[in-house]
């Protein structure tokens, strides 16, 4: 089987922007916990890459027509001859710039998608709009279901300087811990083994006892050993 360099480069051009888009999205919003096959993941990358290139092609098409007619004429020539790859070899700087722009735009679009997943502005607008909100109420729709686990929404920080504190009651009378939440695993709601890490840890044996600070940097706990967990969030006055 002969290796097609042009085909491989085209595949990367569509794959990499989608890959960066997903990385940017996952850094803002938790990734779906539904299992995906490798083929589905690659398909998602390529689909995101297609949207990136559609936007860039529309942008450069307009830019060439109004500001760089020379490039537009050259592109028409190579497309007419059926050899679009010749255009990229003739203009290597443009090709390199286009690649960088596609990667950057993929990352930006992924970040926007992550923000939309977290904030849900369209859903919130529909629910708060008098016309659409009233129509949804008549249909018996009082809200939209969310895909992410309860664990994520319980600990989610909605302001830059939000601090999340927890009070943890352990099973079998093993006492109470309290401290500031630093990290936690985002897993499915059906998963009992959910690790979370707290700092500035205080402990007491009975509910009526006074908390005593523990001489440690932090404490790693597992939800499987927890009876109840209270969550307290404080926001800096600058964000209030």
**Residue range 128-179, pLDDT digits in tens:** 777 777 777 777 776 666 667 788 878 887 777 888 999 999 998 899 999 9
Tell me, yes or no, whether 116 and 162 share the same domain.
Answer: no
What CATH code is carried by the domain that includes residue 220? 2.30.30.100
Euclidean distance between CA atoms 137 and 152, whole angstroms: 27
Residues 119 and 164 in one domain: no
In a domain, 207, yes or no: yes
Q: Is the dihedral of CA 174, 176, 179, 181 positive or negative?
A: positive
pLDDT by residue, tens only, the chain of 240 residues:
445 555 666 677 778 888 888 888 877 777 666 666 777 777 778 788 888 888 887 887 777 777 666 666 666 666 565 555 666 666 677 777 878 888 898 889 888 888 887 777 777 777 777 777 777 777 777 666 666 778 887 888 777 788 899 999 999 889 999 999 999 888 877 788 889 999 999 999 998 999 999 999 999 999 899 999 999 988 876 544
- The rounded distance, in Å, linking the Cα atoms of 109 and 23 is 11
Alpha carbons within 13 angstroms on the beta-carbon side of residue 20 total 18
The range of the structural domain enclosing residue 207 comes to: 150-235
Residues 154, 102 share a domain: no
Based on the domain organization, do 117 and 161 belong to the same domain?
no
Looking at the fold, whether 161 and 113 belong to one and the same domain comes out as no
């Amino acid at each position: 089987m002969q290796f097609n360099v042009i085909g491989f480069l085209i595949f990367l051009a569509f794959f990499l922007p989608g890959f960066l888009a997903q990385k940017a999205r996952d850094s803002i919003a938790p990734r779906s916990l539904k299992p995906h096959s490798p083929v589905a993941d690659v398909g998602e990358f390529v689909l995101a890459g297609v949207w990136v290139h559609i936007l860039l092609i529309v942008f450069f098409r307009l830019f060439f027509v109004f500001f760089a007619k020379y490039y537009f004429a050259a592109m028409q020539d190579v497309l007419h001859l059926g050899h679009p790859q010749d255009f990229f070899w003739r203009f290597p700087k443009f090709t390199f710039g286009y690649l960088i722009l596609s990667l950057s735009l993929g990352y930006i679009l992924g970040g926007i998608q992550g923000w939309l997943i977290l904030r849900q502005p369209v859903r919130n607008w529909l629910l708060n709009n008098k016309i659409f909100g009233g129509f949804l109420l008549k249909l018996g729709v009082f809200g939209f279901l969310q895909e992410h686990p309860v664990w994520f929404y319980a600990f989610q920080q909605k302001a830059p300087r939000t601090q999340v504190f927890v009070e943890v009651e352990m099973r079998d009378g093993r006492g109470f811990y309290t401290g500031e939440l630093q990290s936690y695993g985002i897993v499915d709601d059906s998963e009992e083994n959910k690790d979370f890490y707290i700092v500035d840890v205080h402990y007491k044996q009975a509910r009526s006892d006074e908390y005593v600070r523990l001489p440690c940097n932090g404490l790693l706990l597992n939800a499987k050993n927890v009876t109840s967990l209270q969550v307290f969030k404080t926001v800096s006055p600058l964000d209030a």
